[in-house]
Amino acid sequence: MMYFQQKHVQKFMNKYKERARLLISCPDQPGIVAAVTTFLYEKGANIVESSQYSTDPEGGTFFLRIEFDAPNILERKKTIEKEFATIAQQFEMNWRLSLHTHVKKVAIFVSKEEHCLLELLWEWQAGELLADFALVISNHEQMRETVESFGIPYYYIPVTKETKEEAEEKQIQLLKEHDVDVIVLARYMQILSPHFVATFPAQIINIHHSFLPAFVGARPYEQAYRRGVKLIGATSHYVTDDLDEGPIIEQDVERVDHKHHVEDLKRIGRMIEKTVLVRALKWHLEDRVIIHENKTTVDEQNH
């Protein structure tokens, strides 16, 4: 990690050394919030942020995200988790306790287009993305100089139809060696195999234009231009075996009109893509996304 990033991380670690996050999903029923908040109070915790949502108060699924400060949370984490397990069992919870200071390791996959990669690197350099950018993997060499100028390892792994399986095994090995928490496809123009996706469930974030499914296949901007679209946009989602149909994290759109030509649509589309991808990654890094079936609940508080 480069010096400027280490400064951001160290400042963050010092400021939030006593903070943790509790993420919960369970069948909705009375008493969940009371039980959780009482437990945290008894552990000397001070709740600093809380967000909750129910798909249906009668028989639906309840989601809860709580941030709290607690003395010596790093040393007490395992004990708190063990003691909370009783409440979790009572309410049939899927739950996770994470430390605010756990800096997630990120791998970026990229092909030839640079706009999403550069936006991620600039946001990371500015301290807006608190993460460890562990490595960049590409099926082209173009981005090596740019990436290495940030002090990030760059791995060139070419992919062809004949070598795809071998290339993915190399990628998986690198990701495991670097102990990566999340993979970002920053306009990586290869379809990942079911084996790759299954190896990193709910850990792969993709970005694509929102023309799908209306304008599938090659040259979507040209197709959109011929149809005279009035809105273009981008979608960031988790990757599943169903191509471009994984749980959506974030979307955005921009109005266009008859004065915008194909190149204008591409330029505006690139702008939307990079901002949507950064938002999606930021929320994932901050544990603001909970996946339920093929949808997500996203706590956008303070954003």
CB-based contacts of 222-226 (< 8 A; 24+ apart in sequence): 222/262, 224/265, 225/260, 225/261, 225/262, 225/265
Cβ atoms of 216 and 224 closer than 8 Å: no
Note whether 70 and 45 are within 8 A (CB).
yes
Other Cβ atoms within 10 Å of 281 Cβ, number: 26
270: Cβ contacts below 8 Å, ≥ 6 apart: 113, 115
Tokens 């149809």 -> residue: 227
Q: Any catalytic annotation for residue 244?
A: yes
Six token digits for residue 153: 């390892």
Local structure of residue 114 (DSSP, 8 states):
-
Distance, CA of 45 to CA of 69 (rounded, Å): 5
In this structure, the strands spanning 61-69 and 248-255 are unpaired
Of the candidates 69, 179, 241, 244, the residue annotated as catalytic is 244
| Strand, coil or helix: 110 | strand
**Spatial contact of 246 and 289, defined as CB atoms under 8 Å apart:** no
**28 within 8 A of 57, measured Cβ to Cβ:** yes
User: Which H or E element spans position 88?
Assistant: helix 73-90
Contact 203, 234 (CB under 8 A): no
**Number of helices and strands in the chain (H, E):** 9, 13
Contact 191, 159 (CB under 8 A): no
- Which residue numbers are catalytic? 244
